[in-house]
Amino acid sequence: MQIYTIEALLLVFLIFITASIIYCRDILSSVYIYSAFSFCAVLLYLMMGSPDVAFTEVVVGTVSTIFYVISLKKIDRWCK
């Protein structure tokens, strides 16, 4: 029963993190919050019993965070 509680808590975290990614005015901050989204998704995948998907999410989340930060050199950081 406790595992379901943790899972529900992580799902609520995912919803709040997604809302804060969408409504954040600073794109650099939303990139960092996206890595938190990736971490919660990894924990959920591990609880659901698929370590392969969790491993993929770890590596792709890390590399895509690097790419987003690099592409911020081109575009403006603040949403107008």
Partner 1 sequence: MMKDPFGGIILNIAFRMLVPFSVVYAVYVLILGESSPGGGFQAGVVMGFGIVLARLILGEDTVQFNIQAKNSLALAGFGTFIYALAGWLTLFGGGKFLDYSFLPFTAEHAHELHALGILMIETGVTICVMMTILNIMDVLVRRSEDDGSVQ
Q: How many helices (H) and strands (E) does the chain have?
A: 3, 0
- Which positions from 13 to 52 touch partner 1 by CB under 8 A, shown as an x/- string? --------------------------------------xx
Q: Return the residue matching tokens 């960092």.
A: 32
Choosing from 74, 76, 78, 80, the residue that interacts with partner 1 (CB under 8 A) is 74
Beta strands in the chain (DSSP E): none
Count of residues in contact with partner 1, rule CB under 8 A:
15
Mark residue 50 as left, alpha or beta (left: phi above 0; alpha: psi -120 to 50; beta: remaining).
Answer: beta
Task: Give the residue with the Cβ less far from partner 1, 15 or 70.
Answer: 70
Q: Which residues 49-68 are close enough to bind partner 1 by CB under 8 A?
A: 51-52, 54-56, 59-60, 62-63, 66-67
Backbone dihedral angles phi then psi of residue 50, each to the nearest 5 degrees: -135, 85
